Amino acid sequence: MKRWVKMIRFIGGLCLVTLLGIAYVSYLCHNSLCLAPEHSSLSPRYSVSSSSSSSRSEILSSPASLVKLIGGFPSKVNIESVAFQEAYNMGFDITSRDVIVFLHIQKTGGTTFGRHLVRDLNLENPCNCPRKRKRCDCFRPNTVNEQWLFSRYSTGWKCGLHADWTELTDCVEGALDEYEGTSRKRRYFFITVLRDPIHRYLSEFRHVQRGATWKSARHWCGGQEFTSLPHCYKGSNWTGVELDEFMNCSYNLAHNRQTRMLADLTLAGCYTGYNTTADQLERDKILLQSAKQNLASMAYFGLTEEQATSQYIFERTFHLDFANPFDQANATLSAQAIAKLTPVQIERVRQLNSLDNELLEFARQLLHERFKMLKRRDPHFRRNWLRVIHPHNYNQLSHDHVVSLLNPLPATLACNPNLMKLGNCYSLHKSPAIFI
């Protein structure tokens, strides 16, 4: 009898030690990819190119089904993503299973664009936007809870505050299933807006300086939430921070934010070792190539500095028109900040956003290619383009004025004196957008 008691105690002790060991290892591996062998978080199966003139044909050939590599283990995100060409050919069916998903990057003008989506689209059944309520009900015709738009002003931040590509592709279907109370397969039309990286970065700096933190962002990646990312500040916020301090924080998520938010972060080990020197060059290449590929595979993206062109592309891609145009104005808070910068600070901002700069150049070329293709195929281009840039009086324009306006990308450029420091000029017919 005593022998059995001793054996039971021995087995129980062994189990207890095993459980304690598992708990200890789990604690050490919190927010890391412990199953991955050394260096495997930078997936060798993902081809990269450091050249800014990467072959767009390679990037545009990305598959519609989205595949992730988590710590070297393949994991499918089983959603149907519609690319630009398919969106243009087939259009957007608001009565069926199509959903527009807006990936809203901070300080790119997404708030204004988001309001256009819920308030200004000419729809037979427009979104219902009650007074004194931020969100609108964007339900499909003849339904009571089926959403055709997944965005801040329709569903709210269902996948987390300013969810990025990695979060959205992993979350959106489950979030809609939960919201609508039923499981269904949908077609997803991902869209976003990009902005000149230096202006966006300085706009974010000014926003943080006034007290913004985005503390509630989830940073979901690889099946887990990264809750222990370090903050650049002590206390509740970073109010009053100076630019040099803002730039000197190596783990500031403002650096290259657009590239990070458009890339598949699982390919580079999620947030494990984020912004550390180890393998940083290889990580940057992976993130930049992934961001380009995901941008090219989206149904639509616009550029803050090219509002009219962006509006035209959206309308022709989705076969939907906006009642009110995408306005542009002359001044921005970021331009005010630029005027106060030294040449050293300007160069430092540029370096911190080098990936975003390369991503923007790729985006500009792709945007102009899409515009030219849509223009070529649009039998009513003159009417549609003039309605975008002169919505209230385009029928009364003189012939000479019409001719001068039919080329939306003129060679003649004008520069705001503050922007000349950065070498950023804009077309004469539209001035830089006001987004703060």
- The DSSP call for residue 432 is P
Which class does domain 84-387 fall in?
alpha beta
Average pLDDT (247-253) is 95
Return the ∠ at Cα 100 (arms to 94 and 101), rounded to 5°.
155
Determine what percent of the chain is predicted with pLDDT higher than 70. Answer: 70
Write down the pLDDT at residue 327. Answer: 82
Residue with tokens 């009364």: 396
pLDDT band at 57 (very low <50, low <70, confident <90, very high): low
127-177, pLDDT tens digit by residue? 999 998 999 999 999 999 999 999 999 999 999 999 999 999 999 999 999
Q: Hey, which residues are catalytic here?
A: 162
**Alpha-carbon distance 436 to 429, whole Å?**
22
- Reduce the DSSP state of residue 100 to 3 states and report it: strand
- Supply φ then ψ for residue 120, to 5 degrees: -115, -5
CA 258 and chain centroid, separation: 6
The helix (run of H) or strand (run of E) holding residue 221 is strand 220-221
**Alpha-carbon distance 264 to 104, whole Å?**
16
pLDDT band at 41 (very low <50, low <70, confident <90, very high): very low
Write down the pTM of the prediction.
0.79
Write down the pLDDT at residue 73. Answer: 32
Task: Domain ranges for the chain, please list them.
Answer: 84-387
Average pLDDT (10-39) is 51
Write down the pLDDT at residue 13. Answer: 72
Provide the angle, in degrees to the nearest 10, between the axes of the packed helices 307-318 and 354-377. 60
Tokens for 133, please give them.
């309520």
Whether pLDDT at 39 is above 60 = no
**Alpha-carbon distance 28 to 366, whole Å?**
44
pLDDT band at 37 (very low <50, low <70, confident <90, very high): very low
